[in-house]
A and B are shown apart, each in its own frame.
Chain A
Amino acid sequence: MTTAVVDGQAAEHDDHGPTKGIKRWLFSTNHKDIGTMYLIFSLLMFFTGGAMAMVIRSELAVPGLQFVHPEFFNSMTTMHALIMVFGAVMPAFVGLANWMIPLMIGAPDMALPRMNNWSFWILPVAFGILLSTLLMPGGAPAGGWTMYPPLILQTGDAFPFLIFSVHLMGISSIMGSINVIVTIINMRAPDMSLLKMPMFVWTWLITAYLLIAVMPVLAGAVTMLLTDQFFGTSFFLAAGGGDPVMFQHIFWFFGHPEVYIMILPAFGVVSEIIPTFSRKKLFGHDSMVYAASCIAFLSFIVWAHHMFTVGMPLTGQLFFMFATMLIAVPTGVKIFNWVATMWRGAMTFETPMLFSLAFVFLFTIGGFSGLMLAIQPADVQYHDTYFVVAHFHYVLVPGSVFAIMAGAYYWLPKWTGHMYNEKLGKLHFWTSTIFVNVTFFPQHFLGLAGMPRRIPDYSVQFADFNLISSIGAIGFGLSQLLFVLILVTAKRGEKATDRVWEGSHGLEWTVPSPAPWHTFTTPPKNRIADEAFD
């Protein structure tokens, strides 16, 4: 019954399809087109940042200097991080949000479609500028993605371009989050109360608030860097009475919530997929919402755990240590709720579910190493070692990136109208999962043995684990080509049904596959939002 209502709406607008050619993409205000552009852009950036990771791991495969100058190596680590964080992971989640949030809440589009177009098109400009620094005198920025002064002020001609591109990324993210908040608050289907919203929508709402609060903080920090460099101020220059440690405080006030900006939407994706393939409703929906909100709140009061070694009062150390450990509680609620959702479910293991299961297991490993790093006395030992590199890569690769992959496989049939190649999908999953562990697990041992991060050469005692890690990285990189193959051949598969997955619930599955250019031009009247909770 509900499907008929929605089908009717789709048919109403057959006379108003997309414009043809490049104009469709340049001037698009359609959330599906913009979502597609975000996803393609993030994939391009994923391979660009991935190529830089290959340079890093090739150089580190054996001791000694092999392929690149140390200065270029430093540029690679800096650019890899900036591109992966701001160019790959964040735009991928914004792409998923653009595609799915209006479909999930029964809205015809995002609330501010022209601003949506701007948010996207600022991004290629920002990354064009950032990548162009590779060709500038003095090379690309090499002071680390954290941009700590005074080191970052030694950047050559690239410095103002770095600052400008970070500002542009910030503007794009802020505009995107304004759109998400306004859409969710004002454009939900009439009978969809806040607590009836799907988890992906909830986690994105919380993420958007985080972005609104912290992206301007990053912008403020880099604005101050700019004025220190070019306008004679001394915000962070000790010689002029400034305080370089203040930059670290401001940066991490942005930087720690940024971690949750990259993981909360991943929680949302996994919370959609696990119930579908367990054929049960999500265990503890409301507690998941409160847990995500708690995580978001706590993310604002833990920033200085990144700075335990700069020196701070004992009370400060204790506060930030215990506040950080507290995050394990709401995160644990989520992990246990996913496990409880699967408990006694009629589970099947299609590619999205496999990626989600790997997410739950491997993200938890990243969470545990995070708890180890939260212990201040231990952190003094682990700080700036490969243990930290292993920790955050476990959170971001089998965490965020696997969730993005899971989401892409899960919703791909809804986007293309065809089933992807399941055999290739599973091959992609297994190769990715094996190689991601081969890459990052040995880095825990390297860190515990004392290997510092951000160095192009190292002592021979670290040789074996580095070689294993580099082999894993190249394997992981090659595995991702399978994903491209699956995407390219996505339209050759069998026709997808509207519901696509047997256990799927929610408004997005009531529209045809592929989703028509216009959906929900009038809000769905039936209580179909309740379906997910029946």
Chain B
Amino acid sequence: MDEQTRKKNIRRTALIVTAVALAFYIGFIMMGVMRS
């Protein structure tokens, strides 16, 4: 795998994982909003 592709993959994995973390954060606060 060339360096360019590796960097692209690294960026993509990091973005996906960050999105998952944000989804959990916002999702649980929204759950609180809907229940209160």
- Residue numbers of A with Cβ under 8 A of B are 111-112, 174, 177-178, 181-182, 185-187, 190, 212-217, 219-221, 223-224, 233-236, 240-243, 246, 250, 253
Alpha-carbon separation in the docked complex, A150 to B20 (Å): 30
Q: Is A186 in contact with B10, judged by CB distance below 8 angstroms? A: yes
Q: Could you mark each residue 1-35 of chain B with 1 if its beta carbon is under 8 Å from any beta carbon of chain A, else 0? A: 10000100110011001101110111111011101
Q: Is B20 in contact with A212, judged by CB distance below 8 angstroms? A: yes
Main secondary structure of the interface of A (DSSP, over half): helix
The 6 nearest A-B residue pairs measured at CB: A216-B25, A220-B28, A216-B24, A220-B29, A235-B32, A182-B13
Which of A181, A182, A219, A253 touches B25 (beta carbons < 8 Å)?
Answer: A219
* Cβ distance B1 to chain A, nearest Cβ, rounded Å: 8
Question: Which one of A177, A187, A217, A223 has the greatest number of beta carbons of chain B within 10 Å?
Answer: A217
Q: Is B36 in contact with A233, judged by CB distance below 8 angstroms? A: yes
> Given A233-B36, A235-B36, A250-B28, do A216 and B21 touch, yes or no (CB 8 Å)?
yes
Known: A217-B25, A246-B35, A250-B32. 9 other contacts (CB 8 A): A177-B17, A178-B21, A187-B6, A217-B24, A220-B24, A220-B32, A234-B36, A243-B36, A250-B28
Closest Cβ neighbor of B24 among chain A residues:
A216
Q: Is B25 in contact with A241, judged by CB distance below 8 angstroms? A: no
* Cβ distance B16 to chain A, nearest Cβ, rounded Å: 9
Task: List 12 A-B residue pairs with CB atoms under 8 Å apart, sorted by A's residue number.
Answer: A181-B13, A181-B17, A182-B13, A182-B14, A186-B13, A213-B20, A217-B24, A217-B25, A220-B26, A223-B29, A235-B33, A246-B32
Alpha-carbon separation in the docked complex, A139 to B21 (Å): 33
Alpha-carbon separation in the docked complex, A241 to B34 (Å): 12
Closest Cβ neighbor of A214 among chain B residues:
B24
Question: Which one of B18, B27, B28, B31 has the greatest number of beta carbons of chain A within 10 Å?
Answer: B28
Alpha-carbon separation in the docked complex, A329 to B26 (Å): 34
Contact residues in A for B6 (Cβ distance below 8 Å)? 186-187
* Cβ distance B4 to chain A, nearest Cβ, rounded Å: 13
Contact residues in A for B31 (Cβ distance below 8 Å)? 250
Q: Is B28 in contact with A221, judged by CB distance below 8 angstroms? A: yes
Which of B13, B14, B32, B36 touches A241 (beta carbons < 8 Å)?
Answer: B36
